[in-house]
Structure 1
Amino acid sequence: MHNAPRLTGSIGRFQLFALGFGSIIGSAWVVILNRWLFEAGPFGAVLGFLAGGIAVVAIGSCYAELTARVPRTGGDFTFALAAFGPKLAFFVGWFVALGWISVTVFEGLAVAWVIELLFPGLPDVVLYTVLDTAVTRNQLAIGTAGAAMIAWVNYRGGTSSARFQGVLTYGFLLIALALILSMMVFGETALLLPAFPSMPSGAPWWQGSLAIFASCAFLLNGFQSIAQAVEERASGVSLRTVARVMIVSIAAAALFYCLAVTAASMMEPWSELATADLAMVQAVRGLPMGDTLVRILLLVLLASLLKTWNGIFFVGTRILFGLASRGFLSPALTQLHPRFGSPYRIILFIAAINITGLLLGRGAVGLLVDTSATAGVMSFVLCCAAVFALRRKQTAVPEYVVPGGYLVIGFALLAAVAMAASALITPLLRSGFPVEYLILGSWAVIGTVTLVLRRNLYQRTEASAAPAPATGAAAPLSGA
C-alpha cells in the first residue's frame, strides 16, 4: 500500500529501554516466585534464568539485526514479509497479534487482583461463574477502568505511551531494587544453602531449572516492543542504538529475576517460601517495618503491571497497523488521529477486545498465558530463520549485525525451537484435549478466511516486494 500513512514520534533511548524492560517484567517475580523455588530452589532458579537469559539474548540479537535491516512498524510481521513473502508473513502477524492482545486481557485481570489485595475490605458482588471461577463486579469495573486508561494513553500517541512507560518503569526500578537490596542487607546467605537439595516437589532440581529455562520464552518476552517503536524513535537515535537497547533490556530483565529470587531466599528458608501463596510478600514482611513495606511492594507490583499492560498494548497496535498498512486488514485502520498521530481506530478496537476479554474472568488466566506463549515462541523460530534469509537477499551490511555471526544465529534458532517445542508439548501433559490447540486452530481458520478475502490487496504488496534497504532511515511502509 504505497499511500499508507507513517507513524512518527520522538521516543528516546531511555524510553526505548523502558518499553523493552517494562514490557518484560510484570507480576511473575511476585506471583509465581514460590513455584520457582518449589521446583528448582534458589540456585536452580537462578541457573534457569541465566540459561534462559542467554538464549533470549541470542534471539533478541536476531531481532535487533532484523530491526536494523527492516526498520519498519510491524516487527515480526514486517521481518517475515521481507524474508518469506506475504502469505507466511500474514500468519506470523496474525498469531503474534493474538498473543499480544491475549496478554492485555491477562494484565487487566491481574491489576484488578492486586487492587483487591491492597484493599481487601472493598465490598463486592459475584456476577456469574465461568471456567469454574467466580467473576465479580470489582474485577470487571477495575479491569475496564484500567483498559480505558491504557487506551487513552496510547490514543494520545506513541510519544505519550513512551513517556507513561518511562515514568512507571524507572519508578518501579527505583523502589523494587531498594526492596531487593534491603532483603540482601538484612537477609542471610546461609539460607540459600544447600544449593541443590532434594526438592519439595520430589523431582530433581534440574527439571525445575529446565522448566524455568523453557518458560523464559514467556517471562523474557516483550523486548519486541522496541522493534515496534523503530519508526517513532527520536531523530538522534540510530538503528545501532535501538538494537543495543533491545539486548540490554533482555539482559537487565534476566538479572532482575535472578536478584529477586536470591534476595527473597535470603530472608527465610526457601523451602518455607516455596509453599507460601505469595513468597515475595512473605519475604518482604520479614524486613523492619515489614507490613508497611508489603503495601509498598503491592503498589510497586501494580505499577509494574500497568507498565507491562501499556507496553503490550503498544505492541498490539503496531502489529495490527503493520498488517493493515500492507493491505491484509482494512486500510481504514491505518487512519491516524489528526492531532495525536496515533492509529486511534486500532487502539479503540484493541481496547474493546481487552474489555470484552475481562468477562472470561481469572479462570482464563492460564489459557491466556499458554496461548500467548505458544504464539510468541513460534514467531521466535521464524524471526531467527528470517536472519538467514535476509542475509542472502540483502548485500548491504546494516548498522547492527548479530555478534558471533551464524554460530550465534544458529544457537538462537535452536533455542527458539526448543522453547517452541516446550510450549506446544506442555498442554498435552495436562489431562484432556488442550483448549489452547482449539483456540490456535480456530484463529488459523479465521486468518485463512481473512487472507482469502484480502488477496487482491496483499498481492499488490507481493508484486512490489523488494528487500528492505539497510540504511539508517526508515523506508516507506509500502515495500517489504
Structure 2
Amino acid sequence: MSDLFRRKPISELLEESQGKTGLKKSLGAFDLTMLGIGAIIGTGIFVLTGVAAADLSGPALILSFLLSGLACCFAALCYAEFASMIPVAGSAYTYGYAGLGEIWGWIIGWDLILEYAVGIATVAIGWSGYVVNLLGNIGIHLPKAITVSPFEGGVINIPAMVIIGLIAWLLISGVRNTSGVNGVIVIIKVSVVLLFIVLAVWHVKPANWTPFMPYGFQGVVSGAAVVFFSYIGFDAVSTAAEETRNPQKNMPKGIIYSLLICTALYIAVSAILTGIVKYTAYKTPAGHAAPVAYALDQIGIHWGAALVSVGAICGITSVCLVMMYGQSRIFFAMARDGLIPKVLGSVDPKHQTPALSTTIVATACALTAGFFPISIVSELVSIGTLFAFIIVCAGIIVLRQKRSDLKRSFKVPFYPVTPILGILSCAYLITGLKPVTWLRFIVWFALGLIVYFAYSRRHSLLRLENRQPKTARE
C-alpha cells in the first residue's frame, strides 16, 4: 500500500515541461492576471450576489465576500509558492502528486474534473439565458424548444452548446489567440462593473443596510459558502504554468493580482447592490437571475441595465473559456502521468495545444448543457474547490518539511500560520454547505477511487518506472 503515497519527483516534472511533450510558452504576468480576472468575474458577481443577499446574508453580503476572499487569499499564497516551484501544467493535481503522493494527486484531479466540467456546463446554460433574454429585448424571440433542456419543456439548449463549441475551437487554435480574446473580454466586463459602480453609488441609501445581518452570522457563513463560487477561477491561472514565460516570477503575480482586483470589485458591488435596493427585493425572479441589471432598473437607469446585460454575457463567456482551458490542462497532466489513457495527453503538432482532451471536454460539457438542467450546482462546485484548496495548503507544509532544499522564488509569508489558516478557513466554509451537497460529493469521490484502483494505479508511469530494474531505466 506504500505505493499509494509515492510522490512524483519534481525534477521529473520540470524535465517533462521542457521536453517534447511540453506546451508552448507564450504568457506573461499581464496575460495571467487577465486570465484570472476572466475566470473570476462572471456568474458570481452577475447572478449569485442576488441569491446570497436575498436568502442568506442580507446587507452583510460584504462580510460573506470578505470571508470567502480571505480563505482564497490563504490558498492563493500557497498556490503561488507551488507555481513558482513547480511551473508545469496540472494545477492542484500536480501539486498534490508532488507534495502528498499519487493517491492525493488523483483525488484532487478527479475532484477538479467534476468542478470544471459541471462549472462549464452551468456557465454555458447561464450564458444561453442571458443571450436569449437580450435577443428578446430587441424583438428576436427564439423558440423554447431550442433554448432549454427537455426537463424544462424544451428539446435542446442550442445556444449553450454553440458557445462551448466556439470556445473549444478557440482553445485548440492556440493559447496566444485565447489570451488575446480573453483580454478584450476582461476589459469589457470590468468596464461594465466599474460603470455600474459609478452610476449606482450616488443612489445608495444607508437605511437599506438595516438590519445589517438579518439572518445572523450563520447566514453570513452560508452566504460565503455560496458566493465562494464567485472566486473559483484564480486557481485556473496555475494550470497555465507550463505555458508561461518566467513562471517563477509571473505565476505568483498573476494569481495574487487577479484575486486582489476581483475581491475589491466584489466588495464594492455588493455594498452598492444592498444599498440602492432593499435586500428583500432580490427575492424576485429578476433579482435572483440578474441582480446587477435589476438594481439599475429599479433606480430608473434602464440603458445602464442593458449595458450590464451585455457585460454579463462577456463575463460569463470568459469564465467558460478559462474553465475549459483549465479542465483540458488537467486532463493533459493526468494523461501524461498514465492515470488516465495516455492518448488524452497528446499535443497537436501545429498549435502545440492538447486538442484531443479539449475536444472530449467540450463534447461532454456541450451534451450536459444541451440536454440537462443544472441546479444547485454552485454548491457542488464550491465543495470540490474548497477540498482541493485544503490539500494544496497541506502540501505546502509537507514540502517545507520534506524538501526544504527546493528553490522557491516565492515563499508563503508567515509560514506555517498562512497554510494552516487556509486549511481551517476552507474547512469552515464547507460547514456552511447543505448536506445534500456533501452526499453528491461523496458519491463522486467513491466513484473516483473505483477508477483509480481499477485502472489508474496499474497504469501509473511512476509505478511502472519504479518496478523496472535500474539498468532498464537508465
Q: Take 1:272 and 1:452, find their aligned partners in 2: how far apart are those partners?
A: 53
Rate the CA distance shift 1:207–1:190 in 2: closer, same or farther, 3 A: same
Structure 1 stretches lacking a partner, 5+ long: 429-433, 465-477
1:384 pairs with 386, 393, 409, which one?
A: 393
**Among residues 69, 76, 84, which one is paired with 1:53 in the alignment?**
69
Specify the alignment match of 1:28 in structure 2. Answer: 44
| 1:407 match | 417
Q: From 22, 26, 29, give the equivalent of 1:13.
A: 29
1:417 maps to what in 2?
427
Q: Contact conserved, 1:69 with 1:398, CA < 8 A, in 2?
A: yes
Which runs of structure 2 are paired with 1:25-174 in the superposition (5 Å)? 25-40=41-56, 43-120=59-136, 121-126=140-145, 132-137=151-156, 139=157, 141-174=158-191
Which of 344, 353, 361 matches 1:342? 353
Which position in structure 1 is the counterpart of 2:4? none
**8 Å contact kept, 1:196–1:205:** no
1:357 aligns with 2:368: yes
Equivalent-residue separation in structure 2 for 1:70 and 1:375 (angstroms): 22
1:262 aligns with 2:271: yes
* CA deviation map 1:199-247 (0-9, x unaligned): 3xxxx3322211122235432111111111112113xx45233213312
State the structure with bigger RCO (CA 8 A, min sep 6), 1 or 2. Answer: 1
Query: How far has the Cα of 1:427 moved from its partner?
Result: 3.1
For 1:232, the equivalent position in structure 2 comes to 243
Secondary structure of the residue that 1:266 maps to in structure 2?
helix
- The AA in structure 2 aligned to 1:406 is P
2:451 corresponds to: 446
Q: C-alpha distance in 2, partners of 1:123/1:43?
A: 37
Gaps of 5+ in 2: 1-11
Q: Is the 8 A contact 2:48 2:227 kept in 1?
A: no
Would you say the 8 A contact 2:193–2:308 is kept in 1? Answer: yes
The more displaced of 278-287 and 52-61 is 278-287
1:396 aligns to what SS in structure 2?
Answer: coil
List aligned pairs for 1:243-322, cutoff 5 A.
243-275=252-284, 277-278=286-287, 279-287=291-299, 290-322=301-333
Is the 1:48–1:213 contact (alpha carbons within 8 Å) kept by the matching residues of 2?
A: yes
Single out whichever of 329-338 and 176-185 deviates more from structure 2: 329-338
Q: Report SS of the residue matched to 2:182.
A: helix
Give per-residue Cα distances to partners, 1:64-116, cap 9 Å, x unaligned. Answer: 11111211111111111111222321222122122111211112111111111
Q: What is residue 427 of structure 1 aligned with on the other side?
A: 437
User: Which residue number corresponds to residue 408 of structure 2?
Assistant: 398
The amino acid across from 2:74 in the alignment is: A
- C-alpha distance 181-444 of structure 1, shift in aligned 2 (>3 A): farther
CA 1:229–1:18 in 2, change beyond 3 Å: closer, same or farther?
same
Cα distance in 2 for partners of 1:274, 1:125 equals 25
Conserved? CA contact 1:183–1:266, under 8 Å: no
Cα drift, residue 128 of structure 1: 11
SS at match of 1:126: helix
Alignment match, 1:215: 226
Is residue 264–residue 284 contact of structure 1 (8 Å, CA) maintained in 2?
no
* Aligned match of 2:463: 459
Q: Secondary structure at the match of 1:32?
A: helix
Cα distance between partner residues in 2 of 1:275 and 1:150: 32
Quickly say closer, same or farther: Cα 1:151–1:332, change in 2 above 3 A. same
Query: Closer, same or farther in 2 for the Cα pair 1:122/1:328, shift >3 Å?
Result: same
The answer on whether the counterparts of 2:335 and 2:341 sit within 8 Å (CA) in structure 1 is: yes
* Kept in 2: contact 1:33–1:261 (CA 8 A): yes
Is the 1:23–1:223 contact (alpha carbons within 8 Å) kept by the matching residues of 2? yes
Q: 1:65 to 1:190 in 2, by over 3 A?
A: same
Contact 2:117 2:361 in 1 (8 A): yes
Distance in 2 separating the partners of 1:313 and 1:232 = 16
Cα distance change, pair 244–31 in 1 and its aligned pair in 2 (3 A): same
Change (3 A) 1:258 1:297: same
Q: Secondary structure at the match of 1:253?
A: helix
Work out the CA distance in 1 between the residues paired with 2:455 and 2:177: 32
8 Å contact kept, 1:39–1:209? no
Q: More helix per residue: 1 or 2?
A: 2
Q: CA deviation at 1:441?
A: 3.1
Tell me, yes or no, if the aligned pair for 1:324 and 1:334 is still in contact at 8 Å. Answer: yes
The whole-number CA distance in structure 1 between the counterparts of 2:352 and 2:430 is 36
Which amino acid is 1:282 matched to?
Y
Q: Aligned pair in 2 of structure 1 residues 447, 105: CA closer, same or farther (>3 Å)?
A: farther
Residue 95 to residue 424, structure 1, CA distance change in 2 (3 Å): farther
> Which secondary structure state, in structure 1, belongs to the residue aligned with residue 153 of structure 2?
strand
Contact 1:94 1:447 in 2 (8 A): no
SS in 2 for 1:97: helix
Q: Contact 1:4 / 1:325 at 8 angstroms: preserved in 2?
A: no
Query: 2 CA distance for matches of 1:14 and 1:220?
Result: 19
SS of residue matched to 1:328: coil
- Displacement of 1:356: 1.5
Name the count of aligned residue pairs: 446
User: Which amino acid is the alignment partner of residue 448 of structure 1?
Assistant: F
Of 278-287 and 143-152, deviating more is: 278-287
Per the alignment, in what secondary structure is the counterpart of residue 88 of structure 1? helix
Cα-to-partner distance string for 1:363-394 (whole Å, 9 max, x where unaligned)? x232x433322322221111111001111222
Identity over aligned pairs, percent: 16
